[in-house]
Structure 1
Amino acid sequence: MHANGLKAPQDYEELIRVIHERYEEMSKSYQKIALYLTQNPNDVAVHSVNALAERCGIHASSFVRFAQALGYEGFKELQGLFQRRLSTAAPGFEARVKALEEELGSRADRSEYGFLRDLVVRDIASLQAMLEQIDPEHLAKAVGLLEAAETIFLIGQLRSAPVVDLLRYVLTMLGKRCVLLDPSGGLATHMARAMQRNDVLVAVSFRFYATEVVNIVEEVAARGHNIIAISDSTLSPVAKGAAVLFAVPEHEYSFSRSLAAPMCLAQSLTVALAARLQNNVEEPRIPTVTGQ
């Protein structure tokens, strides 16, 4: 127990639970640290506090004080929970991450093809990480909600828009009634209020979370509708009211943030839904528009 009388969380799961409980009361800098810890647990396990502070844009002393506020003697003690978590990860995971980092670090090619190679290598890491983190029960529950829904409402703005555009296309081709809550005409909030009891909202939102998306999610949740959320953190503002949350952590790229992982997740939901609707788990098919 720390001198401040707080009993520090003893494992990773308890730490994350405590961070969620206290997040709303934290200062802005502590909230930024909390977001970074929950989004980048593998980085937290393997990098020094100075390196983490530089990536986060906050002084290392703030990381130390953050750990002490949770009951630890210092940041090293908190970091130990992340290291134990990583050591029990799926076999080969650490080796894959290290190999990918070495491949990126050794690249001297700054050509156009080099940028492509960078993105592909990082996307491979993101997709592999997603396999480790997505709960199979959450996938099954989300597909069940989509199957049972009379109408599926979709919302995602800014960088999230391509994900919901893909979902609208595939769900429509599967015969599901969809409503895209786009910002055109300023009607998205009013359209969301037309949701019926058996409808579901799929919300996609990443930093920096679009205000209208957050407001609509909060309003829909308050009315008791089911929400499937795809976001970048369990601390995301769209996470709180979700019946199912898929937290797909984003890695900070030097020149972009990729949609490879959330797009793959969206496709997996629709393929699994197709398998149920077609009663065909062997070769579910997504119909396509073949002509005009």
Structure 2
Amino acid sequence: MTAPTDPEKLRAEIVRNYDQLSPRLQQVAKYVLENPNDMALQTLAVIAERSNVQPSTIVRFAKTFGYDGASQMQELFRDEMLTQPPSPSYAERIRQFNRRAGAAGALAPHDVMQEFADSNILALEHLKNSVRKADLDRAIELIRAANAVYIIGLRRSFPVASYLAYALRHVDKRAYLLDGVAGMLAEQSSMLTSKDLLIAISFHPYAPETAEIATVSKEQKARIIAITDSRLSPIAGAADLCFEIKDAEVRQFRSLTASLCLAQTLVISYAFEMEGRARSQR
């Protein structure tokens, strides 16, 4: 394999080859995708400790993707950092937050609120810094061009899906929530055509029904936007556009603040786009 020449190409190759990697190399793959700043700044020993593998495994991972060794792969991430504002990675900021928060124990309600608020602030800052303008522009164009938007998000993802369906209808976009009432998820999704858009939302542990609908929709040549927490998510591979969202997690309880912020951004941006088009045609 020819070694990818920039981090984004490497990430794409990791996702494409992930299923063929050994379990140990898959551990490294997840760490590389989720901790780019660590890859740029930390020593091989620290990265190995944090990803729970031997340093030799990281070297083997780098060689699998065509590099001479781990240092050559890490150089890509160092170069990427030079083009971005310096800030700790999301993973490092969460580690810092957890150290400040201390061990789990009985907390007063105000302390719980403070922890959730602080953690959500980190998640929103990560959202602001990680979502690319080009991806948002493309998402708005996909929504605009679609004959109808179908939205699926089950279990923990359901609040985001229901908000999108509700809000899109209020800006005059045909939107349908695939909620699987009475076990009719397959019937609800059968109306999807190549002129439609599916917005699929799923976070770990991923709902298999959402992945199935995404796969079927891809076969029907519908366009797909995925909102998920990893490039290795089962819905990411089928998507035309994938938003990787890191929501806050406090003492094993996860928030949806960043995901809902993205959902609001998509709806309101679509409304502004349509208003601008209407004004230009007057």
Give your verdict on TM over 0.5.
yes
What stretches of structure 1 of length at least 5 have no aligned partner?
1-5, 282-292
Instruction: State the alpha-carbon separation in 2 of the partners of residues 68 and 96 from structure 1.
Output: 27
Contact 2:127 2:245 survives alignment (8 Å) = yes
Q: Distance in 1 between matches of 2:91 and 2:54?
A: 26
Which residue number corresponds to residue 105 of structure 1?
99
d(CA) in 2 for partners of 1:252, 1:63: 28
Structure 2's unaligned 5+ residue stretches are: none
Aligned pair count reads 275
Identity within the alignment, %: 31
How far off its partner does 1:71 sit?
Answer: 3.9
Q: Distance in 2 between matches of 1:51 and 1:252?
A: 23
Q: Select which of 224, 241, 244 maps to 1:244.
A: 241
Of the three residues 16, 40, 43, the one matched with 1:21 is 16
TM-score (norm 2): 0.81
Cα deviation, residue 114, structure 1? 3.3
Task: Tell which deviates more after alignment, 143-152 or 222-231.
Answer: 143-152
Q: Is the 8 A contact 1:155 1:180 kept in 2?
A: yes
Which structure 2 residues correspond to residues 152-163 of structure 1 after superposition, within 5 A? 152-163=149-160
Pair 1:194-2:217 in alignment: no
Instruction: Give the deviation of 1:225 after TM superposition.
Output: 0.7
8 Å Cα contact 1:153-1:180 kept in structure 2: yes
Correspondence for 1:65: 60
Confirm or deny that 1:259 pairs with 2:253. Answer: no
User: Aligned to 1:277, which of 267, 274, 278?
Assistant: 274
Please name the residue that 1:31 is paired with: 26
Please tell me whether the aligned partners of residues 104 and 118 of structure 1 are also in contact (alpha carbons under 8 angstroms): no
> Which of the residues 201, 207, 212 maps onto 1:210?
207
Residues 181 and 188 of structure 1 are in contact (CA less than 8 Å); yes or no, is this contact kept in structure 2? yes
* Cα root mean square deviation, aligned: 3.2
Alpha-carbon displacement from aligned partner over 1:230-254 (angstroms, at most 9, x marks no partner): 1122332212232222122457754
TM-score under structure 1 normalisation? Answer: 0.79
- Using the TM superposition, name which of 224-233 and 105-114 deviates more: 105-114
Comparing 266-275 and 59-68, the one that deviates more: 59-68
Contact 1:12–1:85 under 8 Å retained in 2: yes
CA contact (8 A) 1:229 1:245 kept: yes
User: Structure 1 pair 147/235, CA: closer, same or farther in 2 (3 Å)?
Assistant: same
1:93 aligned residue: 87
Q: For 2:222, which of 200, 222, 225 is the aligned residue?
A: 225
* 3-state SS in 2 of match to 1:278: helix
Q: Is the CA contact 2:153–2:210 (under 8 Å) kept in the aligned structure 1?
A: yes
What CA distance in whole angstroms lies between the structure 2 residues aligned with 1:244 and 1:63?
29
